[in-house]
Amino acid sequence: MLATRRLLLVSLPVAALVAACVSETVFPGDMTIGTFDFHAQANWARTDCKADGGDFNRLVDGGFDFSGTFSRDSTDAGVWFTIEGFSRKATFDAPAQRYTTVHRAAAQLVSCGEGCEGAQLDETMSVVVLSDSQDRAIASRCGNMPDGGMPDGSVPGPTANGYDAERACGELRVTFLPGKSAQCKCTVSCTAVYGLEGKRRFNGGQ
C-alpha cells in the first residue's frame, strides 16, 4: 500500500503538498458539493505504461485511495476540486453531471536520471456525481452505470439537509511526458488510466 500511496503523490501533483498542516479547510465558492472517498483501480485495457519495472511497477496491486471535495460558486460559476487543503480549478457540465479537473506538474521519476529537466505528468480527472436516488438505482456500484445515459432518479442539487450528492463515478488519466534535456533517460511517453469510484463522506458536515 505504501507503493500505491507514493504513486498517488506522483499522479495527483497537488497532493505532494500533504506535508503542510491544514487544521480546517475552507472550500472555495459558496456551495460545497461534497467530500468523496475515492478508490482508483488501474484499467489495463487502456493503460500503456509498463507495469513490470521502473517507476510504473507501482501500478501492480489493488489500486490506491484518496479523498477530495468539489465546490462551486453560484455567482460566477467557478468550480474547484480540493485535496489535502489545496484547491485546483475544475469545470462542471450540468447536463452530464460531470466534474473535470486538469493539472500538469513537473515529474520527478527515478528512471529519468539525475539532472533530467522537463519531465511532466499531465493529469485529467473526470467524474459524474450522482444523487442519492440515482445511487440507489445503480445499487451503489459505478459498474452498474447505464451506457450512454444517467440512472433514474433526481438530479443532484441543494436541499434543506445539504447538497444531494452520494457517489462519483469516472476515471483518472495520468500521461507521462518525457524530459527534454540531454541527461534524461526517460524518453517514451505513456498513459495510465484508472477507474474511479467515490463515496460521499458525511462526517464533519460534508
Q: Distance between CA 37 and CA 199 in Å, rounded?
A: 5
Nearest of 145, 142, 193, 143 to residue 172 by alpha carbon = 193
pLDDT of residue 52: 58
Q: What percentage of the chain reaches a pLDDT higher than 70?
A: 81
Q: How confident is the model over 11-28, as a mean pLDDT? A: 51
Could you tell me the pLDDT band of residue 15, with boundaries at 50, 70 and 90? very low
Beta pairing, strands 31-42 & 64-72:
antiparallel
pLDDT digits (tens, 9 = 90+) for 30-45: 999 999 999 999 888 8
pLDDT of residue 30: 92
pLDDT of residue 192: 87
Could you tell me the pLDDT band of residue 105, with boundaries at 50, 70 and 90? confident
Does the structure show a pLDDT above 70 at 16?
no
Q: Is 169 helix (H, G, I), strand (E, B) or coil?
A: strand
pLDDT of residue 155: 95
Cβ pair 89, 80 in contact under 8 A: yes
Q: How confident is the model over 1-10, as a mean pLDDT? A: 37
Buried b (16+ CB within 10 A) or exposed e, 42-68: beeeebebeeeeebbebbeeebbebbb
pLDDT of residue 90: 97
Q: How confident is the model over 54-69, as a mean pLDDT? A: 71
Q: What percentage of the chain reaches a pLDDT higher than 90?
A: 48
19 against 162, higher pLDDT: 162
Q: Distance between CA 154 and CA 189 in Å, rounded?
A: 42
DSSP state, residue 145: P
Does the structure show a pLDDT above 60 at 118?
yes
Does the structure show a pLDDT above 80 at 53?
no
Does the structure show a pLDDT above 90 at 142?
yes
pLDDT of residue 111: 75
The answer to pTM > 0.85 is no
Could you tell me the pLDDT band of residue 143, with boundaries at 50, 70 and 90? very high
